[in-house]
Structure 1
Amino acid sequence: MKKVKVGILGATGSVGQRFVELLENHKLFEVVALCASERSVGQKYGELMKSRWKISGDIPEYVKDIVVTSPTPSETQGVQIVFSGLDASIAGEVETAYAQAGVHVISNSKNHRMVPNVPILSAEVNPEHLDVLQYQKTPGKIITNSNCTIMGVTISLKPLMDLFGLESLFLFSMQAVSGAGYPGVPSMDIMGNIVPFIGGEEDKAEMEPQKCLGRVENGQIVPADFKMSAHCNRVPIFDGHTVCLSVKLKKKVDSKEIIEAWKNFRGEPQKLGLPSAPANPIVYREEQDRPQPRLDLMTGNGMTVVLGRLRPDPILDWKYVVLSHNTVRGAAGAAVLNAELIVNKGLI
């Protein structure tokens, strides 16, 4: 099979670097363009990133000689998909330009997430949301990831919603510094500290799950009707978002039924055998002190959501802990999986 030519927008940032890592020797995709800001344009990626590469290990050989270009369709002709790790301050305009040029955009930015005919796609959760792409007027289509905190949460909620129904949720997040991008949070602000505010995060956490778990109707995504409240906090962890979640279900069930629902959950990526799909999108840990970022973050190569500590909630029904890798499952890895899904479905 001939590989699909792809580009990475924001290739020098933390999410962009993760794209570079995950796309090395990919079965479906060939990286032919790396795009960044004007100060990086014209330099070979390997030289440019010598002191800026923050992913563990070395810069992959396949990208070292690629010359960085600006994120414009005229500079990256020939690509069929772009993975966007751009900052929200420029992502909206740039991503729209690519879609107008006939390039499919898989975006990690917030700019288009709440547009009714743009899916917040989570490949295991809502592949049917791809149906709304036909109602986008541009020849190229825009697909977004959710906020990185919400990605693991919605995967954990999907089997519960399908089997038992959701009424309301309470979320308390402990979010890694890598979620702030590079250089992230100043060390004097975060070392030995917790910052109980992340700009715009709680709004996203309270809106995106309903759309992600919603239904398609008349060419638009209608959000689910459960209520949600969120507290979002930055903690001194490099990678891995941990969320304490309380849920009220529409049916009365016991803990065994909930854990069984998680253990049996498989999505379309697993059924299709997509390259980036973990065998188990959800793993439940029985130990009373798990999941932990240090021990559990790379389960399923960082694509598995690890749950634990299911117990009764005295206000709602149940409470549990969600751990997901914020730059893999919550960002670049999820975007690559979404791209694999649209290729498999013949949408590219």
Structure 2
Amino acid sequence: MVKVGVLGATGMVGQRFIQLLDSHPDFELTALAASSRSAGKRYEDATTWYLNEEMPEAVKDIIVCDTTPEAMDNDVDIVFSSVPTELAAKIEKDFAKDYVVASNASAHRMKKNIPLVIPEVNPEYLDMIDAQQKENNWDGFIVTNPNCSTIALTLTLKPIVDNFNVKGIRVSTMQAISGAGYNGVPSMAILDNLVPYIGSEEEKMESETLHLLGNYDGEEVKPADFVLSASCHRVPVIDGHTEAVFIELEDDFDIEDVEDKMKNFKALPQELGLYSAPENPIVVKKENDRPQPRMDRNAGNGMAVTVGRLRKDQAFDNSLKYVLVGHNTIRGAAGASVLNAELINDKIL
């Protein structure tokens, strides 16, 4: 068993890490770190538990430590980071000197020699790790997962990009409030309302998606060469991001061919049988009124993305459109980091 810890363990994503790691066959959760306000307390006493699932018994008596390498148990091999971005820039580097850091924070995404990875999409980006360690003289390293809305979109794009010539993509998101954290969106701002702006979200989707679907030549990533435009919005849904996707292709196509490529898409995590990998990363629904976040966010234990309303776009030549739903705090956050760690454990450790 690989011993693991969670940084930012008392927050919503930290709690999701704990829920996903409970009874994990490969990882033993032995260390929980949080702010100095929580350090020294039993986890149960330090935490207001937000998830529908009960707090696992195994973590209740763990004493929370400060978010420093000195305070962390040296037997830990992997730390999962859900600390705020403004703190992650320094904290994750401090831990990477000796630990594998599987980060959900945005502080080190898109940086040279730091892999930004979705295991079904670009596992070869892990080849950056050697250069990262040499450059920083680290024994450990940092691997990041993308933004929550980016992950859901990019998973559905992968079989399309691999089999068709993409000219341009437009996406409009309807994002759940849990993506902003428990205190992120005031109730008076979101009830009976929609907020048509999420700070830096559109820029993240546009840059990260092209990066993930690009090509790593051993030294740098060359982004995908099509254009992508995103418009991001917050809606009164607790969990599950919904996205309306519009894709322009270079050539004519059969919609049945696109559907076949999506629903039969499998990749390295499925080949390796990684514990958190869904059997089918993309679930295709035929009903006119699906997907819906309440009904489809938990597909594949929250690790699959559900696609529906897949059809040709009659307004534009060689174009298709569809709607997707992905669980933003599982596949889009903690689950993405856990799957990255499972791939690292299989291929590197």
Shift of 1:242: 0.3
- Equivalence for 1:216: 216
Matches within 5 A, 1:161-172: 161-172=161-172
- Equivalence for 2:328: 326
Shift of 1:219: 2.4
Instruction: Provide the rounded CA distance (Å) in 1 between the counterparts of 2:343 and 2:252.
Output: 35
8 A contact 1:131–1:219 mirrored in 2: no
Matches within 5 A, 1:90-109: 90-100=87-97, 102-109=98-105
- Equivalence for 1:65: 61
Instruction: Provide the rounded CA distance (Å) in 2 between the counterparts of 1:342 and 1:30.
Output: 16
Shift of 1:44: 0.4
Instruction: Provide the rounded CA distance (Å) in 2 between the counterparts of 1:54 and 1:257.
Output: 42
Shift of 1:55: 0.8
- Equivalence for 1:26: 24
Percent sequence identity is 49
Instruction: Provide the rounded CA distance (Å) in 1 between the counterparts of 2:121 and 2:310.
Output: 21
Shift of 1:235: 0.3
- Equivalence for 1:117: 113
Shift of 1:140: 1.1
**1:35-80 C-alpha deviation (Å, 9 max, x unpaired):** 111111111001222xx10111321001001111111111112211
Query: Partner of 1:193: helix, strand, or coil?
Result: coil
Matches within 5 A, 1:2-17: 3-17=1-15
Instruction: Provide the rounded CA distance (Å) in 1 between the counterparts of 2:112 and 2:157.
Output: 21
Instruction: Provide the rounded CA distance (Å) in 2 between the counterparts of 1:155 and 1:162.
Output: 12
8 A contact 1:195–1:235 mirrored in 2: yes
Instruction: Provide the rounded CA distance (Å) in 2 between the counterparts of 1:239 and 1:295.
Output: 11
Shift of 1:32: 1.2
8 A contact 2:4–2:80 mirrored in 1: yes
| Segment of structure 1 superposing worse, 105-114 or 131-140 | 131-140
| Stretches of structure 2 lacking an aligned partner (at least 5 in a row) | none
Shift of 1:238: 0.2
Shift of 1:306: 0.1
Does 1:126 find its partner at 2:127?
Answer: no
Amino acid at match of 1:33: A
Alignment TM-score, normalising by the size of structure 1: 0.96
Alignment TM-score, normalising by the size of structure 2: 0.96
- Equivalence for 1:36: 34
Instruction: Provide the rounded CA distance (Å) in 2 between the counterparts of 1:78 and 1:272.
Output: 26
Instruction: Provide the rounded CA distance (Å) in 1 between the counterparts of 2:84 and 2:240.
Output: 20
8 A contact 2:127–2:218 mirrored in 1: no
The structure 1 segments of at least 4 consecutive aligned residues displaced by more than 6 Å after TM superposition are none
Amino acid at match of 1:198: I
Matches within 5 A, 1:45-56: 45-49=43-47, 52-56=48-52
Query: Partner of 1:75: helix, strand, or coil?
Result: coil
- Equivalence for 1:261: 261
- Equivalence for 1:341: 343
Instruction: Provide the rounded CA distance (Å) in 1 between the counterparts of 2:26 and 2:250.
Output: 41
Instruction: Provide the rounded CA distance (Å) in 2 between the counterparts of 1:116 and 1:243.
Output: 29
Shift of 1:5: 1.0
Query: Partner of 2:31: helix, strand, or coil?
Result: strand
Instruction: Provide the rounded CA distance (Å) in 1 between the counterparts of 2:304 and 2:115.
Output: 21
Instruction: Provide the rounded CA distance (Å) in 2 between the counterparts of 1:105 and 1:82.
Output: 5
Shift in CA distance, 342/305, structure 1 to aligned 2, threshold 3 Å: same
- Equivalence for 1:286: 286
Amino acid at match of 2:291: P
Amino acid at match of 1:22: L
